[in-house]
Amino acid sequence: MKTRMIDPKQMAVKDLHQFILGAVAPRPIAFASTMDKNGVPNLAPYSFFNAFSSNPPVLVFSSNRKVKDNQTKDTLHNIRETGEVVINAVNFSMMRQMALASVEYPANIDEFIKAGLTPMAADLVKPFRVAESPAQMECTVKEVIALGDQGGAGHLIICDVVRIHIHEAVIDEQNRIDPHLMDLVGRMGRAYYVRASGPAVHTVFQPVDQLAMGFDQLPESVRRSPVLTGNELAEIAALTEWPSASALELLSIEPTIAEMLLQEEGYDHLHQLARKAIIAGSVDRAAGILILADPLYHQ
């Protein structure tokens, strides 16, 4: 595949920034609520953000120097003054309001008011929680690491989570967050966002403590299937063993399969049949069909 080579040192920062935003995406959004030393609230979204530890619980986000004028941002100033922040998750219903809070209002302007969001007292820190946010994490700042002194340079803000508030409505009966109810949004490049609910959410069950066969155990005829995609082959490679000889025997006498085994075009047809079985969730059956379709199996 043809690739575009980028040397970060040779590209204008504003363009490099967009390539990074497009390539590292979607990113969760920290809706960071801070307060200056005089008690003026501040609220701004930051998508250079993630969780990096659960014990202790640590979140990290980055406030960058502006590319256009190398200025640093109010969130960083407030954090340096007070050492506190509440990181609020951003869901679909507040997405547009969140974007409004990213406007470069002067430091004395309260973005809760500008964006029409509800400030709510936190338990352990001074900055407000965003009442509408389904997950609000009260943090004390452990460390701020400056990554450079030119426009675009980040400041890693390493936060210890001291209290978490989750809307009851998004917690399911297994005491876990239901992503469909949480309905978070992620930021991509430019004006693109992604909504993490409904058909955008996929489940992948991959036990890590059972040794899956892996691609190297797939026969050549399966690995080079003209029908199966990489994801579909991975379903087969994720099995821990092939179906038994007796299971293969039973499959081979099913009328449709028996007929395909006799046809000249049988190999493709059997791979299509295997594909249907994978889509239906019958991966063992698909594996059996693929083995039967393998010319070497019959030698």
Ligand X SMILES: Cc1cc2nc3c(=O)[nH]c(=O)nc-3n(C[C@H](O)[C@H](O)[C@H](O)COP(=O)(O)O)c2cc1C
Q: Contact residues for ligand X (CB under 6 A)?
A: 29, 42, 44-48, 62-64, 73-75, 99, 102, 104, 187
Q: CB 167 → ligand X: shortest distance, Å?
A: 21
d(CA 244, CA 249): 9
CB-wise, 46 or 128, nearer to ligand X? 46
CA 205 distance to own-chain centroid: 16
Q: CB 161 → ligand X: shortest distance, Å?
A: 18
CB-wise, 21 or 166, nearer to ligand X? 21
Q: Which residues contact 169 (CB under 8 A, 6 or more apart)?
A: 134, 181
Q: Which residues contact 245 (CB under 8 A, 6 or more apart)?
A: none
Q: How far is CA 290 from CA 55, 68, 117, 285, 287, in A?
A: 45, 58, 56, 9, 5
CB-wise, 45 or 243, nearer to ligand X? 45
d(CA 192, CA 47): 12
CB-wise, 144 or 227, nearer to ligand X? 144
d(CA 21, CA 188): 6
Q: CB 48 → ligand X: shortest distance, Å?
A: 3
Q: CB 150 → ligand X: shortest distance, Å?
A: 14
CB-wise, 69 or 220, nearer to ligand X? 69
Q: CB 204 → ligand X: shortest distance, Å?
A: 27
